[in-house]
Structures are given as structure tokens and as C-alpha cells.
Amino acid sequence: MHVPDGFIDAPVSAAAGAVAAGAVAVSLRGARRELGERAAPLAGLVAAFVFAAQMLNFPVAAGTSGHLLGGALATILVGPYTGVLCVTVVLLVQGLLFADGGLTALGVNITNMAVVTTVVAYAVCRGLVRVLPRTRRSVTVSAFAAALLSVPAAAAAFTCFYAVGGTTDVPVGQVLTAMVGVHVLIGVGEAAITALTVGAVLAVRPDLVYGARDLTAPLRLCVGGEPADAPPSPTLDLARAGGAPTPALTPRSPRKVLLAGLAISLLLAGVVSFYASAAPDGLEKAAADEGIEAGAGEHGAAGSPLADYGVRGITDGRLSGGLAGVIGVGLTVAAGTGVLCTVRIVRTVRGRRAGEPSPAATGSPAPRTPRDV
Amino acid sequence: MGAGHAHMLYRHGSSPVHALPPHTKLTAVLAFVVVVVATPRTAVWAFALYAALLGTVAYAARIPPGLLLRRLAVEVPFVAFALLLPFVARGERTDVLGLPLSVDGLWGTWNVLAKGTLGVAASVLLAATTELRGLLLGLQRLGLPPLLVQIASFMIRYGDVVTDEMRRMRIARESRGFEARGVRHWGVLARSAGALFIRSYERGERVHLAMVSRGYEGTVPLVDEVTASRAQWSYALALPLSALVVCLLGWTL
């Protein structure tokens, strides 16, 4: 997906360059904060790994093969800041040395492939790790979902650039359909390989997987088989909030409810819509009967790839509807998690300002609105 | 490991282009590509002039044309995409060999092909005449953040080592009778990738410790400062400036 010169016009390329420079500056600061002076050798070696892993060919079938893109993998393994830096450096070297991707399009390429991929993958992975049970398998599952969504997200970001600064007048909906359609397929392969690789690393060095760093139990000093120190705090929320006092009772986690809700919605969206009737729903039927529909314009998002609850490019109507449902649920959950996290952060900050223990600091999970149930 | 200290795209030589300081060459290539992208696509002759300019540089650098053309093959994937444009673009149609093609799409194809090819050719010339270390020094000289330059230099330095490790793992797999034939074998390959990551990360930790024990404090001392004289600057900037003249002519004519 390396964009060549001349694909995006000069002003938009410059704007993308500014965005990329800002993101890289933020990541430089973040990586320095996380890794300190170890940043250069570690990020350099991980970039070399990404570069080498892109050369590893995965046979698909009948002689064709694909390879890893590596953005999501790097993020889950070493964290978002270092991940952005690694992919940026790989793109920079590819552009300068191997002429892969245009130099004026470097900003577009970095924004798409280093920033969007990484941010989406990290958000999805963290959100899922937090919701799913605290096991190794759930990290692998989150890695799968993160990689699966990150690739089409990068394709969608490219389409945005193309819509604003494309040099040819191609209908944007068509570009989006083609790009996202192809990249969903690529994303499936990427997701499988990323999940398998993360699983392999987890089995040997779970401490190296940044996305699973909450899952490692805190180390305890034992003398003669007996713990020598005070029992460590039961949840990690406490450790992160700076050692707040342990509450006597931890309320039951809403995790099971949330998981059940997610499973049911996915089931409904993916499987039941497979068999759902294509008859218009109540309002649409009423509108048609009353003749209101003639005045109704096409919806603004009618050109979107999910318009009318179907993924374009997939001819089987049922399969397409089911897929669209699953994607829709995924997007809704991602958006909801984002909103919840923001609300929680705002509350924590306000609570600290007011001098009272915030909901996050007392160990009880912030009240969550039940969704998808 | 026996690959020597130059990357495979570098072509050793002692031409005037090789002798230019790297940051002047980087500036020249960047400015040239920007000018090319800003040229209106209807000025077909301008792109011929740009190609002639690059040809002059290749001649001065004594890069054989065959090598240049072979390395242009890297842009084949975009060509496939560009060739699709006339079929999907909107606007008035014209008949080419009985196919209704969009005029705007044809111009778009030409635009991407011409500008993309010129950009790739400029990058290939830069890579063929500049050593890796020189490129990194030049980037640092041009104001890229030192940490980013350090990461890039570590990546380039250890890229061969990590790739070699991957090759040895492949040989180890194959000598045990493994042959990846389909999706069923992804698990094995992914486990190799995981092992490669762990080895790379641990190598990074060892490299860091080795550097700390030699007095590393977060910055790499710059031993050789690259400087460029006024003559070298003007020599390097001759390319983008002449391109700029062509571009301005393209806008006015």
C-alpha cells in the first residue's frame, strides 16, 4: 500500500507530512519516556525485525503467498510509541533506499501505515484485553481483532486522503469499497499471522508482550515457600493508581455480563441477520404506504461500503449482511469503549481535583452502562 | 555477515555525483520530487525534460541505464493500480480500441505513471550514489531528530544480522523436512517470527548494555561533521533549479 509520487496532490501531501511529523514527535517523546536511553537500540532492533518479518513469505494456496505488514504486531509487542517509530523508520528506509513509496508521499504513507494502523490496533487490543478474561488466549484473540481492524482502517484513511487530494476524479465510494474490500481480505491473513506470532512470543517471554503487560502477576518474595511480604494488591487497577488502600470487598466484575452481551450481539448481527427478512421495517413500510418515501433523499452515507447493511463486493446477500452486522457491532463496541474510557479519565481527573478518591482509585470499576445487552 | 559494509543498492564509484556531500544530494532529490509533483499533468513535454535531467545525472554518476531500468521494476504494483483508473473514473468518455475510457482517468494514469516513475528514478539514483552511513549523516544534518536517526542507523546496521538469523532459521526448518505449502503451516512460520522477535529484542538489550559499558548516555557523538562548500551546494541544486524552471514554464505555457 505504499503510495507513489503523484497520487495525492502537493498541498494534501504537505498536510499529511505535517500530521506525520507531529505524530512522530509525540512518539519520540513517549518512547523516550517509556524506554529511556534504551529507546535507540531497542526500537532499532525491532524495526530491523519488522523489516525482516516483511520478507517472511506465508504461502496462501496454489503458489500465491502473502507477507506480514507488521504495524499491528509491532504495536502489540512493543507498545504504540515504539511501534510508530519502528514502522516510520522502516517506511523511511524503504522510501529512501528501495524507492518503495514516493518521497513526497512519505507523509501520507507514514500517517496511514505507521500512525493509523498503530493507533487502531492498540486501541482495539487494549480495549479487548480489558474486557476479556485475564488469560493468555484472550491476548491472542485481541491481537487477532486488532490486526484485523487495523488494515482496513489504514485503507479507509488512504481513501480519506484520496477524497481530499486525489489527482483523478474517481467516485470516492468506489475507491473506499475497493480499498476496504481488498484490505479486509489482507487483514484476515495479517490477523491470523499476528495472533499466531503473539501467541508464540507469549508462550516463551510473556513479559515482552506490551499488550499483555497487565496479565503478568506481580513478583512476590518467598522465603521457604511462604510469602515473606504483605499480600500484593489483587487487581492491577490499584497498582496503577499508585497503591491506593485495598478495599475490603471487591465487587463482582461486570466482565461476564459484558462478554455475554458482546457474544449475543455478535450472534444476532452475524448469524441471525443471515436469516432475517429483507422486508422493510415498520417505519420504512409506513413511509412507503403513506407516500412519504418519494420525498426522502438518499442517505448521506449511501455510498459507504456498509450502506443498506451489506458489504459491497460480496455478492452473496446473506453472507454480506452478516459480515456487515459483525463489522457494525465491532465499530459500535470500539466507539463505546472509547467513550467510556474518556468518561473514566475525565472522572478520575475531576475526582483528584476534588480531593476525593476517584472511582478508578478505589478499586471498584467505574459504573458502566450495560451495552449490547 | 560477509556482505561487506555497503548496501546492495549502492554502486561504488568515484564520479562527481558520488563525491557530493550527502545532505546536498538529499535536498536536491527532495526538491526535485516536489517540483515534479507540482507540475501540471497536461505539460507532457515537461516530464520528458525531467527525464532528460535525470538521464544527465545518471550519465554524470556513471550509472549504467540497464541498472536504472531494472530497479524501476519496484513500481510495478502501482502501475497495475494506475492502469485501472481510466475504467473507473468519471467524466467524459472517449473510445480507445473500442473501449469507452474516461478522459480524466487517462490523464490520471499518465500523471501517476510519469510522476511515480520520475520519483522512483530519483530515489534509485540517490541510493546508488550514496553510502548508507552518508545518508544517515545527511538526514541528521538536515535536522531529522537524532533519536530517529539513531533508530534508523541501528535498523540498517542490524538489518542484515536479523535477516541472516531468519535465513538460518529457514535452513533449520528445511533441513528438518519442513516445507510451507499452505495456510496449515502458518503456525510454524509464525512461531519462527515470534522467535525472531525475541532474538531481536534480546539482541537490542545486549547492544544497549554493551553501549552503556562504553559510556553511552543517550547520544552518539558525531565524529565526522559533514560540510558542503558553496560550489558543492550549487552543483547539487542545479538539478532542482533547472526542474523548477521547467515547472514554471509548464504552468505559464
Q: In this predicted structure, what is the pLDDT of residue B98?
A: 67
Q: Is residue A355 scored above 60 in pLDDT?
A: no
Q: In this predicted structure, what is the pLDDT of residue B250?
A: 81
Do B41 and A86 make contact, defined as CB atoms within 8 angstroms?
Answer: no
Segments of chain B assigned E as strands = 93-96, 99-102
Q: Is residue A372 scored above 70 in pLDDT?
A: no
Do B115 and A5 make contact, defined as CB atoms within 8 angstroms?
Answer: yes
Distance between CA atoms of B107 and B90, rounded to whole angstroms?
Answer: 12
Q: Is residue A258 scored above 70 in pLDDT?
A: no
By C-alpha distance, the chain A residue nearest B34 is A104
Q: In this predicted structure, what is the pLDDT of residue B242?
A: 86
Quote the distance between the C-alpha of residue B46 and its chain's center.
Answer: 23
Distance between CA atoms of A85 and A80, rounded to whole angstroms?
Answer: 9
B147-190 pLDDT, tens digit per residue, is: 888 888 888 888 888 989 999 999 999 999 988 777 788 888 88
Q: Is the Cβ of B18 closer than 8 Å to some Cβ of chain A?
A: no
The candidate with the shortest Cα–Cα distance to A91, out of A105, A80, A75, is A105
What is the overall mean pLDDT for chain B?
82
Q: Is residue A130 scored above 90 in pLDDT?
A: no
- Which ipTM was obtained for this model? 0.87
Question: What's the pLDDT band for A232 if we cut at 50, 70, 90?
Answer: low
A65-76 pLDDT, tens digit per residue, is: 777 888 888 999
Cβ-Cβ pairs closer than 8 A, A with B, add up to: 263
Q: Is residue A277 scored above 50 in pLDDT?
A: no
Q: Is residue A87 scored above 50 in pLDDT?
A: yes
Q: Is the Cβ of B17 closer than 8 Å to some Cβ of chain A?
A: no
Angle formed by the axes of helices A117-131 and A136-165, nearest 10°: 150
Cβ contacts of A47 on chain B, cutoff 8 Å: 151-152, 154-155
Distance between CA atoms of A93 and A96, rounded to whole angstroms?
Answer: 5
Q: Is the Cβ of B197 closer than 8 Å to some Cβ of chain A?
A: yes
The two beta strands, A222-223 and A226-227, are antiparallel
A181-219 pLDDT, tens digit per residue, is: 888 888 888 898 899 999 998 888 888 888 777 776 667
Enumerate the domain spans of chain B. 16-138+227-252, 145-212
Quick one: average pLDDT of A268-288?
A: 50
Name the residue with cell 521457604.
A224
- Contacts of residue B36, defined as CB under 8 A and 6 or more positions apart, other chains included, come to A5, A6, B47, B50, B115, B118, B119, B122, B243, B247
Do A10 and B107 make contact, defined as CB atoms within 8 angstroms?
Answer: no
Helix, strand or coil for residue A359?
coil
- Contacts of residue A55, defined as CB under 8 A and 6 or more positions apart, other chains included, come to A67, B163, B166
Q: In this predicted structure, what is the pLDDT of residue A239?
A: 44
Contact predicate B131/B224, CB 8 Å:
no
Q: In this predicted structure, what is the pLDDT of residue A347?
A: 67
Q: Is residue A366 scored above 60 in pLDDT?
A: no
Distance between CA atoms of B155 and B147, rounded to whole angstroms?
Answer: 12
Q: In this predicted structure, what is the pLDDT of residue B43?
A: 83
B196-226 pLDDT, tens digit per residue, is: 999 998 998 899 899 889 888 777 776 667 7
**DSSP letters along B22-56, please?**
HHHHHHHHHHHHHHHHHS-TT-HHHHHHHHHHHHH
Backbone angles phi, psi at A201, to 5 degrees: -70, -40
The candidate with the shortest Cα–Cα distance to A121, out of A91, A153, A160, is A153
Q: Is residue A348 scored above 50 in pLDDT?
A: yes
Q: Is residue A267 scored above 70 in pLDDT?
A: no
A279-292 pLDDT, tens digit per residue, is: 444 444 444 444 44
**The amino acid at B59:** Y
Question: What's the pLDDT band for A88 if we cut at 50, 70, 90?
Answer: very high
Helix, strand or coil for residue A226?
strand
Give the 3-state secondary structure of A62-121.
CCEEEECCCHHHHHHHHCHHHHHHHHHHHHHHHHHHCCCCCCCCHHHHHHHHHHHHHHHH
Do B207 and A45 make contact, defined as CB atoms within 8 angstroms?
Answer: yes
Contact predicate B196/A52, CB 8 Å:
yes
Q: Which domains does chain A have, with CATH numbers?
A: 10-212 (1.10.1760.20), 235-243+251-277+302-373 (no CATH)
A100-111 pLDDT, tens digit per residue, is: 778 888 899 899
Set of cell numbers at residue A124: 482495539
Give the percent of chain B with pLDDT over 90.
8
The two beta strands, B93-96 and A226-227, are unpaired
Distance between CA atoms of B31 and B128, rounded to whole angstroms?
Answer: 18
The candidate with the shortest Cα–Cα distance to B238, out of B83, B9, B17, is B17
Contact predicate A92/A137, CB 8 Å:
no
Distance between CA atoms of A293 and A329, rounded to whole angstroms?
Answer: 28
Backbone angles phi, psi at A289, to 5 degrees: -65, -40
Integer angstrom CA distances of residue B224 from B115, B133, B169: 36, 11, 38
Total residue length of chain A: 373
Q: Which helix (H) or strand (E) holds B238?
A: helix B230-252
Question: What's the pLDDT band for A362 if we cut at 50, 70, 90?
Answer: very low
Set of cell numbers at residue A86: 519502528
Question: What's the pLDDT band for A271 if we cut at 50, 70, 90?
Answer: low
- Render each residue's pLDDT in chain B as its tens digit; 253 residues: 444 445 666 777 777 788 888 889 989 998 998 888 888 888 888 888 889 988 888 888 888 888 888 888 777 777 777 777 777 776 667 767 667 777 777 888 888 888 888 888 888 888 888 888 888 888 888 888 888 888 888 888 888 889 899 999 999 999 999 887 777 888 888 888 899 999 998 998 899 899 889 888 777 776 667 777 888 888 888 888 888 888 888 888 7
Q: Which residues pair with B106 in a beta bridge?
A: none
Q: Is residue A136 scored above 60 in pLDDT?
A: yes
Nearest by CB to A99, which of B7, B120, B211?
A: B120
Do B162 and A49 make contact, defined as CB atoms within 8 angstroms?
Answer: yes
